[in-house]
Structure formats: C-alpha cells, structure tokens
Homo-oligomer: A and B are copies of this chain.
Amino acid sequence: MNEKIVKPSILPGFMELTPMDQILFNRMKDTIRRNYEKFGFLPIDTPIIEKSEVLLAKGGGETEKQIYKVVKGNTDMSLRFDLTVPLARYVAQYYSDLTFPFRRYHIGKVYRGERNQKGRFREFYQADIDIIGNGTLSIINDAEIPSVIYSTFKDLGFDSFTIRINNRKVLKGFFRNLGIEDSTMILRSVDKLGKIGIENVRSELSEFDLSEDVINQILEFISIKGSNGEIVNNLKSLNIEDEIFIEGVNELEVVSRYIGMFGVPEENYQIDLTISRGLDYYTGTVYETFLNDYPSIGSVCSGGRYDDLATYYTTQKLPGVGISIGLTRLFYQLREANIIESKDNSLTKVVIIPMEGYMDYAIEALNSLRKANIYSQVYFEDGKTGKKFKFANNLNIPYTIAIGKDEVDNNKYTLKNMITGEQSLLSIEEVIDKLK
C-alpha cells in the first residue's frame, strides 16, 4: 500500500458528471451535432492550445484577464476562450483551400478564468455554427439560421421557445437619426426592458445627456409590439430617412419573411427591438433564444451577423453569420430546473447473469444478442445473485437474462423486465424479437 495518498479532487469551476448523467449530456451534444450536420455544416476541430499572439490579436478587455496561459518551453501559448477566434484564424490560414460559403460547426471545450460562482464554468463546451462568405454573403443565410435553432431545440425536446430577432442596423440608424452616434450605454439600458420595466428604463436613460423628447422617442421605439409583419410596418411608418435604418428594416423584413419560409412557425420567432447583443462585432441580424417555460435561464442560443470575421489575420473580407449554444451551462441549468431526469439513460439493453458453472452458455447468448446489435453484457464476477441483479438496477439497464440449469435444460432464457418485474422463459430468437 502507498503511504502517500493524494486526495482525489478536481479544480473548482469544472464540471464533471456521473456516467449516467454523461450519457444524457452526450445525447444532447449528439442531437446538436446531428442537426448542424443536417443543415450542411462541416466539422472542424482546432487545437485547444494556440499561440497567445493569435488568440489575443484583438486584445484588451475581459478576455485577456480571463485567459489561461500555458507554459512549456519559450512559446507564449494560451487555451482558447471561445471558438470564434480559432475559426477566424482557421479561415484566414486555409482561405485558398476552403470552399465558400463555408459552413462550419465546431463543438468543443473552451476556457475562461471566471470568478468562481454557482453555474459559471471555467471549462465549458460551446457548440457553434457559422456561415462565412467570401466578400459577400446573402441575407437569406440570416433567415436559415433560426431554422437550425428551431430544428435543434425541437429535437432536444422543447416545444415552447422563442427565437428573438433584431437588426443592429435598425438600432444604429435609429439612434443616429436622433443624433446619437455611440449608443452602447443606451442599448445596455434598453436591453433590460424585459427585466426592469419601462419606467426604470426611463429613469436610467434620464441619467444620460438626452432631451425629454429623445427619451420619449426611444421608449416609444422599444415599445413597438405586434406580429413580425406589424413591427416591420410600424418601423417603416416612422419615416426615418437614415440610410442604415432603411437598410436594417429591409433586412429585418426579408429575414423575418424567409424564416417562415424555412418552416419555423410564427409562434417560435419574434422581432424584438430591445435585443442588441453585447458583443460589438455584430453588425446586422442578431438572435437570442429563450425557453418560454424557464425564462430565468436566459438566452440558450445567441448569435448574429458580422461584417468581417478575420480582420486580425487577413485582408480578405469575410462576412458571416452564426450562433452559439453554451452546452455545459445549458445542461447544468436544465438539470437544476429538474428538466433533465436520470432515467432511460442506459445504453446497455440487457445484462446476462449466469449461475455458477454456466459462463459458456452466457457468452453464447451474448454473441447472439450482439450479432443482432442489441447492446448487452455478461456479469462475469462471482457473488450472490441479488448483487448481480442490483448491478443492472443501479445502471438502469432495463432487462436481465438469467441462465442456470433450468434454462440450459430447456434451451431457453429467463428474460426479466427490471422495471415491471415481469419474467418470461424464451428462446434466444424470442428474446431478440422482444428486445429489438
């Protein structure tokens, strides 16, 4: 025995699951991947470690403070903190080998040294898709993205969710028309409308250097409600002649019409003029997705359109549109809300339990089941029968097959449904029929 035992533990802020929860997590990840692939997105898998000068080319801000540096030799290296910067580097690096529009998905771990708090993770999965154009990219792409979100969240088992859509050009043009060039702070207040209500937004806005009239126009603007068609008409009727505004409204109109054509039901998407997305690189369409029964979870899938993906790595103009699902956080929140339950989470369908001396018969049955592609295993260990059935129970394995003298004499197997307790003596063909 070893004298020096190290306490087995992981770092704070890292998620680690039991195998049974891991199966559920993987199922979510697989569902997302399947949908991304179905819509024509190609996989990439970039290194988790990159040169710091590449990852931090943009530099500054929270990112730099949260980054994990990696030490080995003299190269300045870091762990990636998102999948967008590696995408930008990738597209710039392999530009001449790629076929545009380049649809790529990437599901992988990223690292951020966030302050340690419940529900915040320092290592987490992002599941991203982006469509990158070479020079230009049709606005129709912006309309297809919500259909990927819709298909994915449907397949994840959600019915009631809303994809909220806006266009940064509408906001930019509207504020420019009011004489406001930098609307960052205002947008931050406006974004809180749903949470704090109109009067609180008004009092926040009154702290900026804005006239009463301007404040009223802003509040009126963000109060525009109605069907998607009504909102577009309402925006048009404002008769704002700012070019960017007009372009934004046109885009919003095209996008919202085509989203419907791509099969997303009207109740699942909604123009929302208060959505602006914090990240400053979005330049057109923006998306946020909310589970209507769990509003406190916040947006579960966000993204938007950007003018130029890889400005730090190439002079090529690469406009794009994309979204990201924060998978680790989403799983955590769904589990906290008891939406994810640990059942139906066995990959194995049946455990074969041989009585002493019947191992060879058990393996014979195992071979037949596996040949029929029924996921099965034999409990090989010695021990009491009760313990063996408990093995199946603990792992939520739905069936057991007992093999002993009676079974061998009759060339039959005792198949037990571990949920109902029901037992029956069946031939191997009958077992396969039943479990298929």
In the complex, which residues of chain B have a beta carbon less than 8 angstroms from the beta carbon of A1?
311, 315
A422 within 8 A of B: no
Closest Cβ of chain B to A389, distance in Å, is 12
Check A11–B75 contact: CB distance below 8 A. yes
Check B141–A375 contact: CB distance below 8 A. no
Q: Once bound together, how far apart are the Cα atoms of A22 and B88, in whole Å?
A: 18
Contact A311 B380, CB 8 Å, known A50-B10, A363-B261: no
Closest Cβ of chain B to A129, distance in Å, is 12
Check B14–A43 contact: CB distance below 8 A. no
Partner of A262, one of B17, B92, B144, B367: B367
Partner of A48, one of B38, B42, B109, B381: B109
Check A263–B367 contact: CB distance below 8 A. yes
In the complex, which residues of chain B have a beta carbon less than 8 angstroms from the beta carbon of A26?
43, 45
Contact A104 B19, CB 8 Å, known A51-B11, A262-B363: yes
A153 within 8 A of B: no
Q: What does the 1/0 interface line of A120-143 toward B look like (CB < 8 Å)?
A: 000100000000010011101100
Check B40–A22 contact: CB distance below 8 A. no
Listed stretches A94-102, A177-185, A238-246; interface member: A94-102
Q: Once bound together, how far apart are the Cα atoms of A393 and B331, in whole Å?
A: 39
Closest Cβ of chain B to A342, distance in Å, is 12
In the complex, which residues of chain B have a beta carbon less than 8 angstroms from the beta carbon of A167?
none
A71 within 8 A of B: yes
Q: What does the 1/0 interface line of A48-76 toward B look like (CB < 8 Å)?
A: 11110110010000000001111111010
Check B40–A8 contact: CB distance below 8 A. no
Closest Cβ of chain B to A343, distance in Å, is 15
In the complex, which residues of chain B have a beta carbon less than 8 angstroms from the beta carbon of A43?
19, 22-23, 26
A312 within 8 A of B: yes
A210 within 8 A of B: no
A404 within 8 A of B: no
Check B103–A49 contact: CB distance below 8 A. no
A334 within 8 A of B: no
Check A375–B11 contact: CB distance below 8 A. no
A118 within 8 A of B: no
A203 within 8 A of B: no
Check B72–A113 contact: CB distance below 8 A. yes
Partner of A137, one of B75, B89, B381: B381
**CB-CB contacts below 8 Å: A382-413 with B:** 382, 391, 394-395
How many protomers of this protein does the assembly include?
2
Q: Determine the residue in chain B with the shortest Cβ distance to A141.
A: B380
A93 within 8 A of B: yes
A39 within 8 A of B: yes
A199 within 8 A of B: no
A4 within 8 A of B: yes
Check A359–B140 contact: CB distance below 8 A. yes
Q: Once bound together, how far apart are the Cα atoms of A20 and B99, in whole Å?
A: 11
Partner of A16, one of B10, B47, B133: B47
Check A89–B8 contact: CB distance below 8 A. yes
In the complex, which residues of chain B have a beta carbon less than 8 angstroms from the beta carbon of A218?
none
Check A8–B314 contact: CB distance below 8 A. yes
Check A313–B5 contact: CB distance below 8 A. yes
Closest Cβ of chain B to A297, distance in Å, is 22
Q: Once bound together, how far apart are the Cα atoms of A57 and B376, in whole Å?
A: 36
Check B75–A72 contact: CB distance below 8 A. no
Contact A370 B51, CB 8 Å, known A22-B45, A380-B141: no
Check A375–B9 contact: CB distance below 8 A. no
In the complex, which residues of chain B have a beta carbon less than 8 angstroms from the beta carbon of A38?
370, 373, 375
Q: Once bound together, how far apart are the Cα atoms of A123 and B45, in whole Å?
A: 12
Given A8-B92, A10-B89, A68-B71: 5 more A-B contacts, CB < 8 Å: A8-B90, A11-B47, A38-B373, A261-B360, A262-B363
The 9 closest A-B pairs by CB, nearest first: A40-B377, A19-B42, A8-B93, A8-B92, A99-B394, A8-B313, A138-B380, A14-B47, A140-B380
